[in-house]
Each structure stands twice: as structure tokens, then as C-alpha cells.
């Protein structure tokens, strides 16, 4: 599989051309200011493995409730102050 790099602006300008390249089996790495941000790869029909469930959803147990009350806003503001 051949791979090429393309900038975001070039991808927008020639999207059809790049999609044809991907359709023919090549991968395209999309870069933003020389930083890779995404990759276009050929679609594979059976690329995802589908497995049978090991149990029933109704048999799952919920995690225990927290022991103390939680104030999510305070946790969020505290986290923002630390950054």
C-alpha cells in the first residue's frame, strides 16, 4: 500500500483526486502545518470483528454508589484552576 501526505488546503482543493487514489488502494495522510491529523485508508468490508456477547445485559450490575455527595461543578472548577 502506497502512502502520501497532503495538506488540508490541498485536500479540499482536490478531494476527488485523493479519493480516487484511496479507492485504488493507496493511503493518504492529512497534515496540518506538517503535523499529521488524520489518515484516509481504503474501506475494508470486514475490517471490524463482530463477536457474540458473553452475557446478557440485564445480568450486568451497576457500580456502587459514591459514599459522599459529589459536586461536579466544584470538581470541574478545581480541575480548571490546577491547569
pLDDT at 2: 64
Distances from the Cα of 59 to the Cα of 28, 52, 62, angstroms: 44, 16, 10
Stated pTM of the model: 0.53
Cell of 69: 455527595
Domains and CATH numbers, the chain: 3-40 (3.40.1620)
pLDDT (tens digit per residue) in 25-83: 999 999 999 999 999 999 887 777 888 888 898 898 988 888 888 888 988 999 999 98
Amino acid at each position: 500500500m502506497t502512502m502520501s501526505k497532503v495538506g488540508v488546503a490541498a485536500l479540499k482543493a482536490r478531494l476527488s483526486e485523493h479519493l480516487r487514489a484511496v479507492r485504488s488502494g493507496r493511503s493518504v495522510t492529512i497534515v496540518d502545518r506538517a503535523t499529521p491529523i488524520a489518515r484516509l485508508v481504503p474501506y475494508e468490508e470486514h475490517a471490524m470483528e463482530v463477536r457474540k456477547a458473553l452475557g446478557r445485559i440485564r445480568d450486568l450490575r451497576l457500580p456502587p454508589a459514591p459514599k459522599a455527595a459529589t459536586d461536579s461543578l466544584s470538581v470541574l472548577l478545581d480541575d480548571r484552576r490546577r491547569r
